[in-house]
């Protein structure tokens, strides 16, 4: 049996530093174990007590009558490591460390935490600074969370892993209050040993868990996370994650622009997208989306019927769904006709959506009839029912009627509780109709359900490694960067290096057509900002312009440039950019529209590089179309259609180059990349490469 | 006494069509009046009954013993107008019509509604299709809302006007459950007579109301709303509005681009901004923001202290505040030192924010000490306290401690309830500490409080009417449009009308420098899309290019253009656009970055035109700086600093032109407007004018 499994379901538990006062943190674990009917053996350890609530208490770890499978250590940080050492020596499988005062407090704490890990030896650790775990499937509570004071914890099929102990309590109590059933909850907190992905892995194999909800502060082991998340996806267990820390991080000090455009929070987006994780945009969505997915009903399209007996709330739902891209079409003729036949009275308007059955709030039969018709209608993929104020005084009335209709359809049914009527919501949720108090949460949940049906794992392709001799380290200049690109098959502007005016004139004459003159330097990062770029030159003008440029640049940088580039002036193309962003989560490829306006408006998108190979062309095309400025490539307002095929191919090639160069590459960016009219390809106008 | 006042506080009420069964809609009004201890006289009217719960029932309106001040009509749409006529003839001040089946159902209903209004004569009507009103200040309930089944409705200082009856019930029950006190609630629904602004006006004068919450489906009388909202602002009673219908409306059929860029929902934004209304972004924010404002504490800055005893939740708050632009600086040295002195134990880290007082969740004295220190600290403008899971079992413990500290400071104190602990939240809210279950709601509330402190009413300036002879109707061509602009003092490109190649060459020779050639037509809207624009021409090339353009345009439009414009080619400017958008809410001025990329990315902003005069230059500058691409005007990446003063002046002039031309003007747009380097002004490159 794995240590994680033992941790969640131990046959015996030692509680080190247990108190006999259940109001104290150190008194809670035993009180909660007992309250929830733990069937295994409990061994309290406390030299000052002989028994706790009838359970024999031991003076020390060495006095224990047997080796417990798991220990909860309730001692402070100054003594916890001593107990951990003893427990490890005894052969205990895993220990939960509640004490705070470790890495979360600064350097001293970090030292303590290392000491703790060392003391543990082969014994696995949960924590420190954790509130423990709760196994609702088997009623095993190894936690001190005050949320466990609640009655009627509801077992269900949602597993929770939280990097915060307080949040675990918050989720547990909120779920309980809303009739949402959970399977296991684990607070990993400081993650000195066992961490997020260990528990995801376990829950993927746990037959009681169908959905996994994650509260994330930082993913510490991205590769493990990636593997665990992809495994969850492969067995059809959705992962829903809320990640804190969305405020824009300080701009990275970097040579390319990609750093500022990407940012660490967007890397989480890219990682989640890559691994099929549904990102909850608000903390409350985390439970709401998980709850909706736990029913395992399938949302096969975006057409939603809204059934209401109160106009205003129906509008709220339809508004929120519209903003999120759902459709709320009116009923088809047959359905509308059948709805009318259900009802007497002229007031109800049944040929539009929301479908307003004015009296149904008090007439369960009418409600049942309308629900059945809408679920059978070929016009809808899901049904949202608005529960009105009758539910305050009579929560069972509508809830019961809705419940009766569920077995008749595989389509998702969700409820919006318009007044404050928690009982009605709890009832419905426990019947399998996820219930919500906010319209936005319904939209978020339906988006989550739709994601589960439509997300596909990235195609893993054999790594197409191009062997290239990379010489040198540090910043390559523009010329060197482009030659490197060319070795991978990316086309770049034709260009020549010159060092004086006469060479420039000579080269320009050979090149035919207007040329661009640039300084060539691996030090100057933004050439145009120092006056180091001139466009539209010919053999006559390029020489004098070079002399002028020498002076201009010297004025800004303090020394005259020694080399220049004379290159073809690209015309008629659409400017874009490609870049790479690396952080502990992985390596991502960024695509964006070029030009300063697009840069300010941050029209970019990102994809995580798979573990081997580059992006697929399907992914690359998806990226191109994700840009808001995509119409610029596609004939917008009389512009020529651009060579999107070549752009896609270049993006794939760029990603393969990044994969091939791997850790040799610190930064890489092509900016601008000119996308020429259809059939004419793409060409890199400038590039940055920083090698390690 | 005004009819609205009588409606909200009648000395006597007739209930037409009253039922004796309190479970039926028609039975509720009398049951609720009695339950809430109505002190006035009640006159039920129903020919089939002699009494209802001991109150004498009358067979008909004509049989009433006196003229009631107000009547509630519970009859269906087919009979309601008859009762209304009788009541009006009797001299009743106002009637509430609950029946549905009017304008909300389509044409037949619209006819009925007109009939109803006619029947009312001088009597004022609330509804139809309304759920009535609730006056909690005086315990007068004239409503059939099922939400009134709740016990302990809490009177307070928030007035509510809702255009939906169901939403009124939802808000009433949600407020009650959360300990939020309301003054008056009115559901205006179909608004055949009394409407939103009538009640805003009343609540502005109501001494029991300090904050006004609005649920808006559509503002039917924009001028009245504007006046009422500005009056509310002038007496310091904040208006908070939630408006449904945010899904993008279908693009308006219009000659200019402004229509598609503006859209009706953005007009609501502009109107709210103009009148100081705080727009709630979600329905739940409507109550949350109102609750926060009802305490009337002042948020004077954006620095927020977060006090927590549970790490995770503190991070949630700090994250949400960061996303909304608040600062969460660490405590100043003195405060940090004093915090440390409060506490023993090394674990607590008190020199960062969130301020984590690990043990305070169970130690009220410690909590009090920390709260007082943070409220006294000069580093903070507000305090958010995270309430942890101790509040589940002991809701009074922390709530009481927090309450004790309130009198000591004028700074806002808000609470986040991390677990599901509604009792703790209700307690705190009723103590004057607005409590929330979502971090985003705290951010929204603080933004609302900050808005109240910083919003300034638009300066009303004397109308600067320029008398201009506007000739003709319909689309003006580019030349005519620009001459109109020039009459108002807006500078435009120098240009000449020509009709053949030799004229063009001749004109180009006189103009010196490169020219632009365009077709001149009031029919062709997008000249470049038909091949009708060429740039960078000289006296030699302009003639042949004109001949070519004739052929190109003819190929697309079917006929050769008869006139052309030869104009100066503007170089070195930043392209922007200005437009106007009119809808029933008013007239707005739109400013945006020009060029196709910016158009796709919709970088625009809008301001409502005041009732007289144009925009002030303060507003105009604010608009310019609101654009995401504002740095492009301000020296971004080595670009020249643009003539922002001239841009601001042009925007003011443009708005004055719109005001002066008034209803003569159907559409107007300058696109592009070139903003030249500082000192060189702005120049209109192209323009559209449609006159009525």
pLDDT class of B142 with cuts at 50, 70, 90: very high
Please choose, from the candidates A442, A77, A173, the residue with its C-alpha nearest in 3D space to the C-alpha of residue B348: A77
Q: Which of A162, A418, A598 sits opposite B170 (nearest CB)?
A: A418
Q: Is the pLDDT of residue B681 over 90?
A: yes
Q: Which residues contact A337 (CB under 8 A, 6 or more apart)?
A: none
The SS3 call for residue B636 is helix
- Check: CB of residue A216 under 8 Å from CB of residue A244: yes
- Worst-scoring range by mean pLDDT, A222-226, A392-396, B262-266, B390-394? B262-266
Q: Is the pLDDT of residue A532 over 80?
A: yes
pLDDT class of B349 with cuts at 50, 70, 90: low
B464-512 pLDDT per residue, tens: 666 676 767 789 999 999 999 999 999 999 999 999 999 999 999 999 8
Contact A419 B245 (CB under 8 A): no
A393 contacts in B (CB within 8 Å)?
Answer: 146, 149
Contact A165 B346 (CB under 8 A): no
Residue B392: the pLDDT is: 87
A362-379 pLDDT per residue, tens: 688 888 999 999 999 999
pLDDT class of B263 with cuts at 50, 70, 90: low
Contact B77 A636 (CB under 8 A): no
Please choose, from the candidates A241, A251, A248, the residue with its C-alpha nearest in 3D space to the C-alpha of residue A273: A241
Mutant choice from A77, A146, A177 vs B, greatest count of B C-beta within 10 A: A146
Pairing relation of β-strands B155-162 and B140-143? unpaired
- Check: CB of residue A147 under 8 Å from CB of residue B392: yes
A174 contacts in B (CB within 8 Å)?
Answer: 419-420
Q: Which residue of A has its CA nearest to B172?
A: A419
Contact B628 A600 (CB under 8 A): yes
Q: Is the pLDDT of residue A253 over 50?
A: no
Pick the more confident residue, B679 or A100: B679
Q: Which of A313, A422, A637 sits opposite B167 (nearest CB)?
A: A313
First-last CA distance in chain A: 44
> In chain A, what percentage of residues exceed pLDDT 90?
76
B601 contacts in A (CB within 8 Å)?
Answer: 597-598, 601, 603, 628-629
Q: Is the pLDDT of residue B347 over 90?
A: no
Please choose, from the candidates A439, A438, A448, A437, the residue with its C-alpha nearest in 3D space to the C-alpha of residue A412: A448
Please choose, from the candidates B179, B226, B212, B356, the residue with its C-alpha nearest in 3D space to the C-alpha of residue B293: B212
Q: Report the distance separating Cα A588 and Cα A171, nearest Å.
A: 32
Residue A249: the pLDDT is: 40
Mutant choice from B281, B389, B628 vs A, greatest count of A C-beta within 10 A: B389
Contact B600 A638 (CB under 8 A): no
Q: Which of B246, B418, B439 sits opposite A323 (nearest CB)?
A: B246
B447-458 pLDDT per residue, tens: 999 999 999 988
Q: Report the distance separating Cα B2 and Cα B183, nearest Å.
A: 18
Q: Is the pLDDT of residue B442 over 90?
A: yes
How many CA atoms lie within 13 Å of A276's alpha carbon, on the beta-carbon side? 26
Please choose, from the candidates B507, B514, B496, B492, the residue with its C-alpha nearest in 3D space to the C-alpha of residue B569: B514
A83-108 pLDDT per residue, tens: 999 999 999 999 999 998 898 888 88
- Check: CB of residue A287 under 8 Å from CB of residue A178: yes
Strand partners, A125: A95
Length of chain B: 692
The SS3 call for residue A44 is strand
A100 contacts in B (CB within 8 Å)?
Answer: 347, 358
Cβ atoms < 10 Å from Cβ of A344:
10
Contact A419 B313 (CB under 8 A): no
Residue B550: the pLDDT is: 95
Q: Report the distance separating Cα B614 and Cα B465, nearest Å.
A: 10
Contact A392 B315 (CB under 8 A): no
Residue A363: the pLDDT is: 80
A255-284 pLDDT per residue, tens: 555 555 556 888 999 999 999 999 999 999
Q: Which of A145, A163, A247 sits opposite B319 (nearest CB)?
A: A247
Q: Which of B346, B361, B601 sits opposite A628 (nearest CB)?
A: B601
> In chain A, what percentage of residues exceed pLDDT 70?
94
Mean pLDDT of the region A23-38: 94
Q: Is the peptide bond before B128 cis (omega within 30 degrees of 0)?
A: yes
Beta strands in B557-612 (DSSP E): 564-568, 574-583, 586-593, 604-608
- Check: CB of residue A65 under 8 Å from CB of residue A55: no
Residue B251: the pLDDT is: 36
Q: Which of B283, B530, B639 sits opposite A316 (nearest CB)?
A: B283
> In chain B, what percentage of residues exceed pLDDT 70?
94
A–B interface: beta-carbon pairs under 8 A: 253
Q: Which residue of A has its CA nearest to B321?
A: A247
Q: Report the distance separating Cα A427 and Cα A100, nearest Å.
A: 39
Q: Which of B100, B173, B392 sits opposite A389 (nearest CB)?
A: B173
Q: Which residues contact A44 (CB under 8 A, 6 or more apart)?
A: A14, A15, A18, A30, A51, A52, A55, A56, A57, A58
Contact B600 A282 (CB under 8 A): no
ipTM of the complex: 0.92
Handedness of CA B604, B605, B611, B614 (dihedral sign): negative
Average pLDDT of chain A is 91
Cα distance from B180 to chain A (closest Cα, Å)? 13
Alpha-carbon distances, residue B16 vs B31, B61, B149 (angstroms): 14, 8, 21
φ, ψ (nearest 5 deg) of residue A308: -140, 155
User: In B377-392, which positions are buried (b, 16+ CB within 10 angstroms) versus exposed (e)?
Assistant: bebbbbbbbbbbbbbb
φ, ψ (nearest 5 deg) of residue B513: 85, 165
B597 contacts in A (CB within 8 Å)?
Answer: 593, 595, 597-598, 601, 603, 629, 632
Q: Which residue of B has its CA nearest to A245?
A: B319
B162 contacts in A (CB within 8 Å)?
Answer: 312
- Check: CB of residue B437 under 8 Å from CB of residue A420: no
The SS3 call for residue B41 is strand
B404-418 pLDDT per residue, tens: 999 989 999 999 999
- Worst-scoring range by mean pLDDT, A94-103, A173-182, B598-607? B598-607
Please choose, from the candidates A136, A193, A199, the residue with its C-alpha nearest in 3D space to the C-alpha of residue A162: A199
Residue A516: the pLDDT is: 96
Residue B261: the pLDDT is: 57
B147 contacts in A (CB within 8 Å)?
Answer: 389, 392, 419
Strand partners, A142: A133
Q: Which of B104, B172, B283 sits opposite A311 (nearest CB)?
A: B104
A443-489 pLDDT per residue, tens: 999 999 999 999 998 877 776 666 676 767 789 999 999 999 999 99
B174 contacts in A (CB within 8 Å)?
Answer: 419-420
Q: Which of B147, B438, B598 sits opposite A419 (nearest CB)?
A: B147
Q: Which of A101, A169, A178 sits opposite B419 (nearest CB)?
A: A169
Please choose, from the candidates B621, B623, B620, the residue with its C-alpha nearest in 3D space to the C-alpha of residue B654: B620
Residue A263: the pLDDT is: 62
Please choose, from the candidates A383, A388, A385, A384, the residue with its C-alpha nearest in 3D space to the C-alpha of residue A418: A388
Please choose, from the candidates B36, B39, B50, the residue with its C-alpha nearest in 3D space to the C-alpha of residue B10: B39
Q: Is the pLDDT of residue A61 over 80?
A: yes
Residue B11: the pLDDT is: 97
- Worst-scoring range by mean pLDDT, A332-336, A472-476, B95-99? A472-476
Residue B536: the pLDDT is: 92
Q: What is the CA radius of gyration of chain B?
A: 32
Residue B103: the pLDDT is: 87
Cα distance from B599 to chain A (closest Cα, Å)? 9
Mutant choice from B21, B146, B168 vs A, greatest count of A C-beta within 10 A: B146
Q: Which residue of A has its CA nearest to B310?
A: A166
Residue B461: the pLDDT is: 72
Task: Give the helix ranges, DSSP H, for B264-389.
Answer: 264-275, 283-294, 311-323, 333-342, 364-376
Q: Report the distance separating Cα A108 and Cα A105, nearest Å.
A: 8
Q: Is the pLDDT of residue A77 over 70?
A: yes
Residue A262: the pLDDT is: 56
Mean pLDDT of the region A129-136: 96
pLDDT class of A170 with cuts at 50, 70, 90: very high
Strand partners, B474: B691
B379-436 pLDDT per residue, tens: 999 999 999 888 888 889 889 999 999 998 999 999 999 999 999 999 999 999 999 9
pLDDT class of B346 with cuts at 50, 70, 90: low
Element (H, E) at A108: helix A107-120
Please choose, from the candidates A205, A201, B231, A206, the residue with its C-alpha nearest in 3D space to the C-alpha of residue A214: A201
Q: Is the pLDDT of residue A241 over 80?
A: yes
Residue B594: the pLDDT is: 85
Cα distance from A102 to chain B (closest Cα, Å)? 8
pLDDT class of B212 with cuts at 50, 70, 90: very high
How many CA atoms lie within 13 Å of A348's alpha carbon, on the beta-carbon side? 24
A634 contacts in B (CB within 8 Å)?
Answer: none
Average pLDDT of chain B is 91
Residue A252: the pLDDT is: 41
Contact A637 B528 (CB under 8 A): yes
């Amino acid at each position: 049996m794995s240590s994680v499994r033992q941790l969640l379901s131990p046959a015996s538990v030692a509680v080190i530093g247990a108190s006999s006062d259940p109001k104290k943190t150190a008194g809670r674990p035993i009180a909660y174990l007992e309250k929830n009917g733990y069937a295994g053996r409990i061994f309290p350890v406390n030299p000052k007590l002989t028994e706790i609530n009838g359970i024999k208490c031991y003076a020390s770890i060495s006095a224990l009558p047997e080796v417990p499978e798991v220990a909860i250590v309730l001692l402070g940080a100054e003594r916890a490591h001593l107990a951990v050492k003893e427990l490890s020596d005894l052969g205990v499988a895993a220990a939960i460390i509640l004490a705070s005062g470790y890495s979360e407090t600064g350097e001293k704490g970090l030292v303590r935490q290392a000491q703790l890990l060392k003391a543990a030896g082969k014994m696995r650790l949960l924590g420190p600074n954790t509130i423990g775990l709760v196994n609702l499937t088997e009623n095993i509570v190894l936690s001190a969370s005050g949320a466990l004071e609640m009655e009627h914890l509801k077992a269900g099929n949602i597993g929770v892993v939280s990097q915060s102990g307080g949040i675990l309590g918050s989720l547990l109590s909120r779920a309980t209050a809303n009739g949402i059933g959970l399977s296991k909850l684990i607070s990993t907190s400081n993650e000195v040993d066992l961490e997020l992905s260990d528990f995801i892995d376990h829950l993927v194999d746990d037959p009681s868990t169908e959905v996994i909800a994650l509260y994330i502060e930082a993913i510490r082991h991205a590769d493990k996370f990636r593997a665990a998340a992809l495994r969850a996806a492969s067995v059809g267990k959705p992962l829903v994650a809320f990640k804190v820390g969305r405020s824009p991080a300080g701009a990275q000090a970097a040579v390319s622009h990609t750093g500022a455009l990407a940012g660490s929070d967007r890397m989480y987006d890219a990682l989640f997208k890559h691994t099929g994780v549904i990102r909850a945009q608000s903390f409350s969505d985390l439970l709401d989306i998980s709850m909706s997915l736990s029913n395992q009903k399938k949302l096969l399209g975006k057409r939603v019927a809204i059934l209401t007996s109160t106009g205003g709330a129906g509008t709220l739902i339809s508004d929120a769904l519209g903003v999120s891209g759902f459709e709320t079409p009116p009923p088809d003729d047959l359905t509308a006709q059948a709805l009318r036949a259900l009802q007497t009275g002229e007031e109800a308007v049944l040929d539009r959506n929301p479908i307003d059955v004015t009296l149904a709030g008090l007439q369960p039969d009418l409600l049942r009839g309308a629900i059945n018709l809408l679920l059978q209608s070929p016009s809808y993929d899901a049904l949202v029912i608005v529960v009105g104020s009758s539910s305050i005084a009579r929560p069972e009335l509508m809830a019961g009627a809705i419940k009766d209709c569920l077995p008749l359809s595989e389509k998702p049914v969700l409820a919006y509780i318009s007044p404050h009527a928690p009982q009605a919501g709890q009832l419905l949720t426990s019947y399998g109709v996820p219930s919500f108090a906010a319209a936005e949460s319904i939209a978020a949940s339906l988006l989550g359900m739709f994601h589960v049906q439509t997300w596909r794992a990235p195609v893993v392709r054999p790594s197409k490694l191009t062997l290239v001799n990379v010489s040198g380290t540090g910043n390559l200049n523009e010329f060197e960067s482009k030659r490197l690109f060319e070795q991978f098959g990316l086309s770049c502007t034709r260009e020549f290096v010159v060092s004086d005016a006469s060479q420039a004139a000579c080269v320009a004459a050979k090149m035919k057509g207007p040329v661009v003159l640039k300084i060539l330097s691996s030090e100057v990062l933004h050439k145009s900002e120092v006056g180091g770029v001139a466009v539209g030159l010919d053999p006559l003008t390029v020489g004098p312009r070079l002399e002028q440029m020498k002076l201009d640049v010297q004025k800004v940088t303090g020394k005259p440039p020694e080399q220049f580039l004379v290159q073809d002036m690209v015309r008629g193309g659409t400017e874009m950019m490609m870049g790479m962003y690396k952080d502990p989560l992985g390596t991502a490829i960024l695509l964006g529209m070029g030009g300063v306006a697009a840069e300010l408006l941050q029209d970019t998108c990102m994809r995580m590089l798979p573990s081997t190979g580059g992006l697929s062309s399907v992914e690359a095309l998806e990226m191109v179309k994700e840009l808001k400025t995509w119409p610029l490539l596609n004939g917008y307002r009389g512009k020529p259609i651009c060579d999107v095929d070549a752009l896609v191919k270049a993006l794939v090639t760029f990603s393969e180059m990044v994969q091939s160069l791997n850790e040799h590459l610190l930064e890489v960016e092509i900016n601008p990349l000119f996308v020429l009219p259809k059939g004419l390809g793409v060409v890199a106008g400038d590039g940055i490469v920083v090698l390690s």
